[in-house]
Amino acid sequence: MSQFHGARRRLVEQLQQCGVRDLTVLRAFDLTPRHLFVPTGMRHRAYEDSALPIGNGQTISQPSTHARYLELLRLTGREKVLEIGTGSGYQTVLLSHLAAQVFSIERVGALLDRAREAIRESGARNVSLLVGDGTLGWRDYSPFDAILVTAGAPSVPAPLVEQLADGGRILIPIGGREEQTLTLVTRRGSELEHRDIGPARFVPLIGTFGWPK
Query: What's the rounded Cα separation, in Å, for the pair 90 and 32?
Result: 8
Q: 54 near 87, Cβ under 8 Å?
A: yes
**Residue 36 DSSP symbol:** G
Catalytic residue selected from 2, 61, 128, 142? 61
Q: How far apart are CA 179 and CA 162, in angstroms?
A: 26
Positions of E strands within the chain: 52-55, 58-60, 80-84, 101-106, 127-131, 144-149, 164-175, 180-188, 191-200
Helices (H) and strands (E) in the chain, counts: 6, 9
Please indicate whether residue 61 is annotated as part of the active site.
Answer: yes
Rounding to the nearest 10 degrees, give the CA dihedral for residues 185, 188, 192, 196: -40
Active-site residue set: 61
